[in-house]
């Protein structure tokens, strides 16, 4: 049993079920309604990976993965926000205590943003000056702090280096440009800052190297944890797609046929294959996660262990998309309509599959690691 399953599963499931009943409203808003966002923050699920020193649960990686998959079963946009902002709580273990307390200490703290170093920063007295525009700011308009990846120019350094900077909402301009195929309610908009001052302590080198909080959670593969979060969204969508096509098959009699889909051997075969694919991908992801956790209990996971998690996450996300696509196609013309769950699942799964952390090039990276060839730390 995990902390999530014993303390948070029931209230989060209730929230996710309500989000499903309000999916049209969420899609039209292109964001979670304020009352649902308030309940999400109050549930403390976004504090699963916040350090105990700042009032968080400092739970296991599996806790948050379970929460994400639970949400995705009912509403993809809710799950996406939980994945992005829930995993961002890992930052609590890497910032100096004073800044970490200020950012993650409030009970309604929520951080998120894009870590790719597309912003520019320069060292100034007392901190950084940052300018940049980032995409994929899921839920950022409702966040208490927003992060952005930057390249830091420092006269004392041989060359610029990548980092994560934390901004207050007042420093950020949000661009309402999220008009997309799926995950419509995730509000993954663009955002930017211009000459924003970031005090010392409110930024950290990225990829992270050494945590301030000495705990297994913060020695775990940082990027691997983020990738596992994305994959868990996909697994939740796939799980629901399997149940949706099973229910439809029990009712649907195709035109010109004399029996339901559930009575056709080809459907038996495909349903069983989808079930096996879901279970194997999920178990593979969780096994790689457990291996990384065990390594983090002893120190820092080595490149091969971290690569195994990125590989498992990539495979799980890819398999999840295939399951949703198969269920959608098996449903035939019944799948295409607005308001039909299989159509919603297909749209959300297509967007999930485009995330860079679970993109196909990860297979190439895993192959390089298998041959003990050098890889960029950003890729693990």
Any idea what the CATH number is for the domain that residue 10 is in?
A: 1.10.540.10
For position 304, what pLDDT does the model report? Answer: 95
Which of 63, 93, 123 is the last residue before a domain boundary? 93
What are the E-state strand segments in the chain? 111-124, 127-138, 145-153, 161-167, 173-175, 188-199, 203-205
Domain identity same for 118 and 256: no
Residues in the chain: 380
Q: What is the DSSP letter of 209?
A: -
Domain identity same for 372 and 228: yes
Would you say residue 240 has pLDDT above 90? yes
Dist. CA 189–CA 155, nearest whole Å: 33
Domain of 16, in residue numbers = 3-93
Looking at residues 221-231, what average pLDDT do you find?
96
For position 154, what pLDDT does the model report? Answer: 83
CATH for 364: 1.20.140.10
Domain identity same for 328 and 254: yes
Domain identity same for 145 and 285: no
Cβ atoms of residues 108 and 85 within 8 Å: no
- Cβ burial 275-306 (10 Å sphere, 16+ → b, else e): eebbeebbebbbebbebbbebbeeeebebebb
Output the six-digit token pair for 53: 């020193």
Would you say residue 302 has pLDDT above 80? yes
- 89 is a domain residue: yes
Cβ atoms of residues 196 and 173 within 8 Å: no
Summarised one tens digit per residue, pLDDT across range 135-193 is 999 999 999 999 999 999 987 777 999 999 999 999 999 999 999 999 999 999 999 99
For position 284, what pLDDT does the model report? Answer: 98
Provide the domain count of the chain: 3
φ, ψ of residue 111 in degrees (nearest 5) = -120, 155
CATH for 192: 2.40.110.10
Cβ atoms of residues 244 and 327 within 8 Å: yes
Dist. CA 271–CA 344, nearest whole Å: 19
Which of 176, 205, 234 is the last residue before a domain boundary? 205
Domain identity same for 197 and 285: no
Which of 28, 62, 93 is the last residue before a domain boundary? 93
Would you say residue 363 has pLDDT above 80? yes
């Amino acid at each position: 049993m995990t902390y999530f399953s014993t303390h948070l599963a029931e209230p989060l499931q209730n929230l996710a079920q309500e989000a499903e009943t309000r999916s049209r409203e969420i899609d039209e808003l292109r964001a979670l309604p304020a009352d649902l966002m308030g309940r999400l923050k109050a549930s403390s699920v976004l504090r699963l990976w916040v350090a105990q020193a700042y009032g968080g649960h400092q739970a296991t990686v599996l806790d948050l993965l379970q929460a994400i998959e639970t949400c995705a079963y009912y509403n993809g946009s809710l799950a996406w926000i939980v994945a992005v902002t829930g995993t961002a709580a890992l930052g609590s273990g890497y910032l100096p205590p004073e800044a970490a307390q200020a950012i993650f200490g409030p009970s309604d703290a929520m951080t998120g943003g894009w870590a790719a170093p597309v912003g520019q920063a320069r060292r100034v007295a007392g901190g950084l000056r940052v300018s940049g525009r980032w995409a994929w700011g899921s839920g950022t308009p409702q966040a208490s702090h927003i992060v952005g990846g930057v390249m830091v120019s420092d006269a004392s350094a041989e060359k610029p280096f990548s980092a994560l900077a934390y901004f207050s909402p007042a420093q950020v301009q949000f661009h309402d440009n999220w008009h997309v195929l799926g995950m419509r309610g995730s509000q993954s908009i663009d955002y930017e800052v211009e000459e924003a001052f970031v005090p010392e302590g409110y930024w950290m080198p990225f990829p992270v190297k050494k945590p301030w909080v000495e705990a297994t959670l913060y020695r775990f593969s940082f990027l691997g944890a983020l990738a596992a979060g994305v994959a868990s969204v996909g697994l939740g969508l796939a799980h629901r797609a399997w149940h949706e096509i099973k229910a439809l098959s029990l009712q649907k009699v195709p035109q010109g046929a004399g029996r339901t889909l559930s009575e056709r051997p080809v459907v038996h075969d495909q349903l069983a294959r989808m079930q096996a694919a879901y279970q194997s991908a999920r178990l593979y992801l969780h096994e790689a996660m457990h291996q990384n956790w065990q390594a983090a209990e002893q120190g820092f996971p080595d490149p091969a262990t971290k690569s195994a998690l990125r590989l498992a996450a990539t495979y799980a996300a890819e398999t999840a998309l295939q399951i949703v696509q198969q269920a959608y196609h098996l449903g035939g013309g019944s799948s295409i309509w607005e308001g039909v769950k299989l159509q919603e699942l297909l749209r959300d799964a297509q967007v999930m599959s485009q995330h860079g952390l679970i993109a196909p090039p990860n297979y190439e990276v895993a192959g390089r690691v298998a041959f003990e060839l050098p890889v960029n730390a950003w890729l693990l």
